[in-house]
Amino acid sequence: MVYEIIAALVFIADRLTKYFIMHNVSVGDTFGSFLGIFDFTYVQNQGAAWSMLSGKTQLLSLVSFAFCAAVIVIWIIKKPKNRMLCTALTLMFSGALGNAVDRAMYGYVVDFIETTFVDFPIFNIADIGITIGAFLLVIYILIFDKDKG
């Protein structure tokens, strides 16, 4: 039940922030800053990370939804118990779902968090979930996965 709550919180936070951005900010506008570390700039990303595969919205939507389905299958069949693995899967699932919904509904992903201390693509809360989840998954595989060949 904990992982379902985490997934719901990440997904809801992602949806609410994107809704706010879309209804209160014009595309390309910067509308605030956080401690001088992040600016908030609304962009519409028609690709994946770093705008790769730009314009391939249907393909990216399919991949995102397929990933979410695969995670559900893993939860049902494998029933993972390791907390790090469960957290990784949960964060990646909720992030992929948030971005998949954007692609399916709008044809692009709403991004708005811009780093000011390093040149990095603008991202969103779903991307944070995916990134942290992927990092945890790598740690899990390197340290805790006992099924290494």
Residues involved in catalysis: 111, 127
Alpha-carbon gap, residue 75 to 89, rounded angstroms: 9
Contact 87, 3 (CB under 8 A): yes
Pairing, β 109-115 against β 38-45: antiparallel
Q: What angle do CA 31, 23, 9 make, to 5 degrees?
A: 90
Q: What gap in Å lies between CA 137 and CA 86, rounded to an integer?
A: 9
